[in-house]
Homo-oligomer: A and B are copies of this chain.
Amino acid sequence: MADTSSLDALIQALRRLPGVGQKSAQRMAFHLLQHDRAGAQLLSQALAQAAGNVRHCRRCHTFTEGELCEVCQDATRDVTRLCVVETPADQAAMERTGAFKGLYFVLMGRLSPLDGVGPRDIGMQELLARAESEGVQEVILATSFTAEGEATAHALSELLARRGVRTTRLARGVPVGSELEYVDLGTIAHALADRR
């Protein structure tokens, strides 16, 4: 396939996707070119648009296309409760429970020294400033119950305690070792009620 530089370039580009190796990339490229060119064009456009339009909410750091995300713009939310989650997917899981009416701070990651992810990468300073300045009475640490999620929650709880901010953690109803977005909604709702 030496004369198919567009095909080779596509296979290499598909390998930028997480979890996609050479064989998967070949299969994806073959599928799109042989069976779904419309899908290839659609994905091309969706990538360009998302990469161009999606940015971070100024307040909570989640993905949004405006200055502020919908939740942060919603005046009916309880500003005294701030829920800290790792990713927009985790936030969406929490929202689907319907059990939380407060606001969020989305870390867009978690502390991971081995991967070079430090306090700055998760917006820790902005989170601390926000927890202190906006009448927040409780910060719910809803990071994952993985080693890194726990370490992130621990570091945040210590820093917030020093500033006199009350923190809680989701109850351990959430299975240890799992990530929030994969947990069933009832368990999340229960863990929220039992927060300590």
Residues of A at the B interface (CB closer than 8 Å) are 1-7, 9-10, 12-14, 16-19, 23-24, 26-34, 36-37, 39-54, 62-66, 69-70, 87-89, 91-92, 108-109, 181-182
Contact = CB atoms under 8 A, between A and B. Distances in A.
Nearest to A42: B13
Contacts of A108: 34
Do most interface residues of chain A lie in helix, strand or loop, or is the interface mixed?
helix
Copies in the complex: 2
Contact of A47 (B3, B12, B13, B69): B13
Q: Of residues A18, A36, A66, which shows the largest number of chain B Cβ atoms within 10 Å of its Cβ? A: A18
A165 to B, nearest CB: 27
A33 B7 contact: no
Contact of A53 (B2, B6, B45, B182): B6
Nearest to A4: B63
Nearest to A66: B3
A5 B12 CA distance: 27
